[in-house]
Amino acid sequence: MTDSSGAPAVPVLVSGTPTRLARAWLWLGVLALIGSGLLAVLLVLSRTPGIQDVFPLKDLFRAALVVHVDLSVAVWFMAFAAVIWCALGSAGLAWLGWGGFGLAALGTALMSVSPFFPDAEPVLNNYIPVLKQPLFFVSIWTFGAGLSLTVLRALLTTWPQRFLAEPLRLGAFLGAVAAFLSLGAFVWSWAMVPWIEGVIYYEVVFWGGGHTLQFQHALLMVVAWLWIATRLGSPSVASARAVSFLFLVAALPLLLVPAIYLLVPAGSLPHMELFAKLMLWGHPYMGPLILLGAVSLWALRGRPADPAKSALLASFTLFALGGVLGYLIQGVNVVIPAHYHGSTVGVTLAFMGLAYVLLPTLGFGRAEGRMAIWQPYVYGAGQLIHVLGLAWSGGYGVQRKVAGAEQMLTTLPQKVGMGMMGLGGLIAVIGGLMFVLVCLQAMSRRGER
């Protein structure tokens, strides 16, 4: 997929199974965002000064947080990853693709209703928080089984036939490699880590796989950036071979994942420290690709307004801010969620922008109108205020994963920071709702196919 100059070209989707599977996964991702957005309203209200005192939402906060995070991060991110793998992959192994989608959809449905069943005790561990309740664990294993089939198909269908000449397909394949290693890490940890009552057990079980999954998100985010830029008329200034090489460099830290599991007992302190260092020292390998994305974004500055262009600008801004905040973390406070909110929202906005690009090629209508153009800015601005409020509050010692009076907001700077968090969160909810509305409007119309 290169043009006459050797730069990456706009990928051409294969009709039939790849397109139909991509459509199905996009529907699942949008539905997950709808559920997550509804829960986000409760999360924001439960931590906003003034409102938290009028409505006693503290007990609901933790249960809502678990499902909100799992829908907005695990389900949405993996569903859109599957959209990319299906869109860039070949048409083979349809049974594997549909089997994976069916299990993932069933797991998502079970996850969504599990809080309404008895004994849904929330555990706010990192990466994939859980509800200690049988139905929730059934939903996680079912969703994971579906993803395993999907990732296996992605590994077999996105392998570039011309290895260094198809950088976006190579980036998607490397993202699937990261997903495969992450799923393997989850299973290995679940099997090997001895049971310990409390949060620490789930923290260590999901630690290695959760860290590995971040490489998948980052790789696919850059795939989305370059795809959007190329579609908008700003192909990469680097050749396809150069871009492919940069993707390979960015994926090099993944080689250490199996090494850590083989050399250090899963769940041990050295195991957790090594994965923390992998994040710290491994993600800078993404630097050249991030710079390439910045150059592509700069080249679009004179282009007409477009929803995908808005999303690309907002995505780069939030991801860069999240990366900077990651190096400012000191102690256990809300600077930590400020960091990962910035980074994950950067990925989310990239996927939103690519969704706008893909809608017509998947047979839907186009994302058109002022709401579509402004949606990434509203969502991005809300998340920017939210992240800055959390970072400000963290600097004044506000702890993470608490709500209501437990936050102990005693000083004006703490209250101002968390007030910013609440305002930004509500604006972001509006921006997320706008994305869902734009997608639903476009998906209700027939497009190019």
State the SS3 of the chain: CECCCCCECCCCCCCCHHHHHHHHHHHHHHHHHHHHHHHHHHHHHCCCCCHHHHCCCHHHHHHHHHHHHHHHHHHHHHHHHHHHHHHHCCCCCHHHHHHHHHHHHHHHHHHHHHHHCCCCEEECCCCCCEEECHHHHHHHHHHHHHHHHHHHHHHHHCCCCCCCCCHHHHHHHHHHHHHHHHHHHHHHHHHHCCCCCCHHHHHHHCHHHHHHHHHHHHHHHHHHHHHHHHHCCCCCCCCHHHHHHHHHHHHHHHHHHHHHHHHCCCCCHHHHHHHHHHHHHHHHHHHHHHHHHHHHHHHCCCCCCCHHHHHHHHHHHHHHHHHHHHCCCCCCCCHHHHHHHHHHHHHHHHHHHHHHHHHHHCCECCCCCHHHHHHHHHHHHHHHHHHHHHHHHHHCCCCCCCCHHHHCCCCHHHHHHHHHHHHHHHHHHHHHHHHHHHHHHHHCCECCC
* CATH match for 305-449 among 1.10.10, 1.20.120, 3.40.50, 1.10.3470: 1.20.120
Is residue 108 within 8 A of residue 32, CB to CB? The reply is: yes
Those residues whose C-beta lies under 8 Å from the C-beta of residue 257, and which sit 6 or more positions away, are 181, 185, 208, 212, 278
pLDDT of residue 339: 65
Those residues whose C-beta lies under 8 Å from the C-beta of residue 42, and which sit 6 or more positions away, are 57, 60, 61, 64
Rounded CA gap, 371 and 374, in Å? 5
Alpha carbon of residue 348 to chain centroid: 5
Alpha carbon of residue 354 to chain centroid: 13
pLDDT of residue 408: 45
CA distances from 161 to 18, 35, 240, 379 (A): 17, 39, 14, 38
Task: Give 130's strand partners.
Answer: 123
pLDDT of residue 233: 82
CA distances from 302 to 226, 228, 375, 420 (A): 17, 15, 20, 33
Please give the angle made by the CA atoms of 373, 75 and 398, to the nearest 5 degrees.
80
Show me where the domains of the chain are located: 1-31+67-158, 173-303, 305-449
**Dihedral sign of CA atoms 35, 41, 43, 46 in order:** negative
Rounded CA gap, 188 and 444, in Å? 42
C-alpha closest to that of 189 among 216, 210, 175 = 210
Task: Dig out the tokens for 316 from the structure.
Answer: 């780069």
Task: Give 131's strand partners.
Answer: 122
Rounded CA gap, 147 and 101, in Å? 8
C-alpha dihedral (350, 351, 353, 359), degrees to nearest 10: 160
Rounded CA gap, 87 and 71, in Å? 22
Rounded CA gap, 67 and 124, in Å? 10
Those residues whose C-beta lies under 8 Å from the C-beta of residue 231, and which sit 6 or more positions away, are 10, 308, 357
From first to last of its 449 residues, the chain has per-residue pLDDT tens of 555 555 556 676 767 888 999 999 999 999 998 888 777 666 666 655 555 554 445 556 677 778 888 998 889 999 999 999 999 988 888 899 999 999 999 999 999 888 777 777 888 888 888 988 889 999 999 999 999 999 999 999 998 877 777 889 999 999 999 999 999 999 999 999 888 877 788 988 999 999 999 999 999 999 999 999 988 887 777 888 899 999 999 999 999 999 999 999 888 889 989 998 888 788 788 889 988 888 888 888 878 888 999 999 999 988 888 777 766 665 555 556 666 677 888 899 999 999 999 999 998 999 888 999 999 999 988 888 877 777 766 554 454 444 444 444 455 555 666 677 777 778 888 888 899 999 999 998 765 54
Phi and psi, residue 246, nearest 5°: -65, -35
